[in-house]
Amino acid sequence: MAVDSAISSPLGPPACEKDAKALRFIEEMTRNADSVQERVLSDILTQNSQTEYLRRFKLNGVTDRDSFKSKLPVITYENLQPEIQRIANGDRSAILSAHPISEFLTSSGTSAGERKLMPTIKEELDRRQLLYSLLMPVMNLYVPGLDKGKGLYFLFVKSETRTPGGLLARPVLTSYYKSEHFKTRPYDPYNVYTSPNEAILCPDSFQSMYTQMLCGLQDRHQVLRVGAVFASGLLRAIRFLQLNWPQLSQDIETGTLNQKVTDPSLRECMGKILKPDPELARFVRHECSKESWEGIITRIWPNTKYLDVIVTGAMAQYIPTLDYYSGGLPKACTMYASSECYFGLNLNPMCKPSEVSYTIMPNMAYFEFLPHDPNSAGFTRDSPPKLVDLVDVEIGKEYELVITTYAGLCRYRVGDILRVTGFHNSAPQFHFVRRKNVLLSIDSDKTDEAELQKAVENASRLLREFNTSVVEYTSYADTKTIPGHYVIYWELLVKDAANSPTDDVLKQCCLAMEESMNSVYRQGRVADNSIGPLEIRVVKNGTFEELMDYAISRGASINQYKVPRCVNFTPIMELLDSRVVSTHFSPALPHWTPERRR
């Protein structure tokens, strides 16, 4: 029931007093976006005025936007690497931030094959928590009654390491789930999860998934929303159910927990939750043993009102599969965030995925926007970029996001390209267009063109003794399999047909490519099981020439034609697949350990 209209919000009638406060906060921030931004920059520059970084650029204590923009360069991660390495090695002086660096957040963006290390400070946890606290109040405007049931969310922690200087390095969500903010969150009837903390916090991904699924099945009638952070994660959970429903239903029938779950605190916690329920076990067996899994989500969790998963950006490739398993339930993309900073939220979360726009919250950091011209080669020393402030972006234009954070990143290029779709009050709303330089992505992995090129080079060394070379290649992220996998099309030049590479050699080429991929890819393969074995499809000689002919027939210039290093246009896929002469899969897992190589 909505609270009385005296506290109604322009966004809609809040569901409760707490929501009213959150919606008022959103209104206040978005109405005063420019002054909030001015204050945020001034706060950051005041707080960090004595850091080595700001002193280097002789800001001399001034905090206004013009001085800041004229004195500080726009940078990328690579520019900051020396400072980050010093912090990682244990230098505790105020290099980037006046506040002590509390830990490193390991981004899924990589540098030289390893996850980028983002320094963070304690108070950033509060800022992230604040953004989280706005999500349900917005959702409650669109979906009533979420306090009458639970959310089945598949949430996981990942492995963490320590830097040589002793700081923790772990993904931002692992940091959040392990924080007191999450572990001791007050009871909120609108935000009750089926998964106990012990299951979410179990570092073993099988045990964690198994128990979260078990709890979700047991509470099946209470589940009102089903989610994971990214679409790929929810599909992995469905795949897990496909593989493990016999054991899960056995546990439900008897009220005992499978011996594969060994974590003592998890066993103890599940012991209190599990109750024998033969009727439910029969139901799960009946549904899961049907040949078709179409609509399985709504069959098992019939009261689900929406899926809570990000399906924007690289995750859009999973929309058809999610629709298949859920009978087309709405897919809510609630927030836009990164290891560097949490950016904003979707004020209309039940909209179609193609219409999702994120409203950047001006209190999170100081935001600038680098106009993005897809046809330009970039900016040069002689023509420095003209960055635009948050409130000055123009509808329809594309920009690269540049942030200045409390933790000490200054004018840092995030690498995301956003298009302005409108405004809420004076705060712009953005469609996530894409991340720069990402060719292939299945889960949180991001492989760029240079990485793919290197992987092909490394793998093709194995062909030398067969007097064979790779003359052309392209790639494709195949998400029809669960988990999805990389497909690399190779056209080979075999000089000695009597000694051509065998299936075994080409399998080893698949593995060699996987070994060359960045650590996020290898972690997805080894620890998270979120990426399947890489596949090489060898195509007939002349296939890539046909590809060029096709492109030219559709208007490409012969002089400027370049082989696309990634394809997903159906006619091109069909052409390539019709020319495949053999397929080969990686026969083993590549190497991966939580420790960084450098």
| Shortest Cβ 119–ligand AMP spacing (Å) | 13
Q: Is 332 in the site for ligand AMP (CB under 6 A)?
A: no
Residue range at the interface with ligand AMP (CB under 6 A); choices 48-56, 76-84, 332-340, 530-538: 332-340
| Shortest Cβ 84–ligand AMP spacing (Å) | 14
Spell out the long-range contacts of 292-296 with Cβ–Cβ below 8 A and sequence spacing 24 or more.
293/238, 293/242, 293/325, 294/324, 294/325, 294/327, 295/324, 295/325, 295/326, 295/327, 296/238, 296/241, 296/325
Q: How far is CA 294 from CA 290, 327, 329, in A?
A: 10, 7, 12
d(CA 289, CA 246): 9
| Shortest Cβ 202–ligand AMP spacing (Å) | 22
Q: What angle do CA 113, 344, 322 make, to 5 degrees?
A: 70
Residue range at the interface with ligand AMP (CB under 6 A); choices 317-325, 334-342, 388-396, 556-564: 334-342
Residue range at the interface with ligand AMP (CB under 6 A); choices 65-73, 133-141, 174-182, 337-345: 337-345
Q: Is 132 in the site for ligand AMP (CB under 6 A)?
A: no
Q: Which of residues 102-121 bind ligand AMP (CB under 6 A)?
A: 107-109
Q: Is 333 in the site for ligand AMP (CB under 6 A)?
A: yes
Q: Is 172 in the site for ligand AMP (CB under 6 A)?
A: yes
| Shortest Cβ 586–ligand AMP spacing (Å) | 24
Q: What angle do CA 15, 126, 48 make, to 5 degrees?
A: 140
Beta carbons of 486 and 477 less than 8 angstroms apart = yes
Q: Is 414 in the site for ligand AMP (CB under 6 A)?
A: yes
| Shortest Cβ 118–ligand AMP spacing (Å) | 7
Give the residue, chosen from 151, 233, 313, 408, that forms a contact with ligand AMP under the rule CB under 6 A: 313
Residue range at the interface with ligand AMP (CB under 6 A); choices 59-67, 308-316, 385-393, 454-462: 308-316
**Total number of residues that touch ligand AMP (CB under 6 A):** 17
- Choose between 304 and 444: whose C-beta lies nearer to ligand AMP: 444
| Shortest Cβ 595–ligand AMP spacing (Å) | 19
Q: Is 344 in the site for ligand AMP (CB under 6 A)?
A: no
Residue range at the interface with ligand AMP (CB under 6 A); choices 151-159, 276-284, 298-306, 331-339: 331-339
d(CA 141, CA 112): 44
Tokens of 70: 């004229």
Give the residue, chosen from 9, 30, 97, 338, that forms a contact with ligand AMP under the rule CB under 6 A: 338
Q: Pairing state of beta strands 103-111 and 168-170?
A: parallel
The type of residue at 524 is G
SS3 annotation, 172-221: HHHHHHCCHHHHCCCCCCCCCECCCHHHHCCCCHHHHHHHHHHHHHHCCC
Q: What angle do CA 194, 232, 217 make, to 5 degrees?
A: 25
Give the residue, chosen from 53, 132, 176, 336, that forms a contact with ligand AMP under the rule CB under 6 A: 336
d(CA 19, CA 25): 10
Question: Among positive and negative, which fits the CA dihedral 120, 121, 122, 128?
Answer: negative
d(CA 113, CA 8): 50
Beta carbons of 23 and 14 less than 8 angstroms apart = yes
Q: Is 430 in the site for ligand AMP (CB under 6 A)?
A: no
| Shortest Cβ 61–ligand AMP spacing (Å) | 32
Q: Is 337 in the site for ligand AMP (CB under 6 A)?
A: yes
The type of residue at 510 is C
**How distant is the alpha carbon of residue 267 from its chain centre?**
30
SS3 annotation, 46-77: HHCCCCHHHHHCCCCCCCCHHHHHHHCCCECH
Give the residue, chosen from 68, 177, 432, 473, that forms a contact with ligand AMP under the rule CB under 6 A: 432
Question: Among positive and negative, which fits the CA dihedral 464, 468, 471, 475?
Answer: negative
| Shortest Cβ 228–ligand AMP spacing (Å) | 13
Give the residue, chosen from 9, 175, 232, 312, that forms a contact with ligand AMP under the rule CB under 6 A: 312
Q: Is 435 in the site for ligand AMP (CB under 6 A)?
A: yes
Q: Is 339 in the site for ligand AMP (CB under 6 A)?
A: yes
Residues of this chain that interact with ligand AMP (CB under 6 A) are 107-109, 172, 310, 312-313, 333, 336-339, 414, 416, 432, 435, 444
